[in-house]
Amino acid sequence: MALETIEIDSAESPSGTVIWLHGLGADGHDFEPIVPELKLAVPIRFVFPHAPKRSVTINGGMEMRAWYDIDPGSPLSGTEDIRQSAAAVQELVEAENRKGMPTNRIVLAGFSQGGVIAFHLGLRSEYRFAVLMALSTYVHDHEHVGNEVSFASIDTPIFMAHGIADPMIPITRAVTSREALTALNYQIDWHEYGMGHHVCPEELVDITVSYTHLTLPTRDLV
């Protein structure tokens, strides 16, 4: 499954890449306006993929861009969709590798559904990402994720942010995910904000700080 993307370089000769995955019903344009708001100190390439269109059970079977199906009656119903979407995003990572961008200079970011895919891929990756950025999201099937995580991912910096008034994904679900990862020895940079299911200005400031990982010396080849 090849994904269509929007690509933006914040300046010439980017020193890192951010692959940013949107949420349910949105598309790659959703976070495009954020690029100038981040006021980055280093040149970064942003890759904003579009999720494929699919029928979404929780929305009455309506077709929309979604990384996976959500069926309220079956919490694990989207598992195969998640695996397929993560594999498609991995193809984007490998495309960046072929351009000379090693995986440890790639930030894998995702909002809501996109964060679920970022977690799925980043925790299982053979190579360490610069940062896993999980915004208003959770770890799918957190009770069993420890059976699949990779050794390389353990020291990946993880930025988690969530709104305390999120009506779509309650913050308790994110906290449960954070605790599951902490129990596996992941180091979580946790942030919570007085907001709902979106991104706020204070969060953008914290996101910008997390990008300093892209200025560190590389260790991995891919």
Active site residue 144: no
Each residue of 13-52: pLDDT tens digit? 999 999 999 999 999 999 999 999 888 888 999 999 999 9
The whole domain housing 66 covers 5-211
Which one from 27, 69, 112, 177 is the annotated catalytic residue? 112
Which one from 136, 166, 177, 210 is the annotated catalytic residue? 166
For residue 219, being part of any structural domain is answered with no
The band of 101, judged by pLDDT with boundaries at 50, 70 and 90, is: very high
Active site residue 125: no
C-alpha dihedral, 173 to 170 to 22 to 38, nearest 10°:
-100
Which one from 10, 15, 189, 197 is the annotated catalytic residue? 197
Active site residue 136: no
What share of the chain has pLDDT > 90, as a percent? 85
CATH number of the domain bearing residue 42 = 3.40.50.1820
Number of domains within the chain:
1
C-alpha dihedral, 37 to 116 to 216 to 209, nearest 10°:
30
For residue 221, being part of any structural domain is answered with no
For residue 97, being part of any structural domain is answered with yes
Average pLDDT, the chain: 93
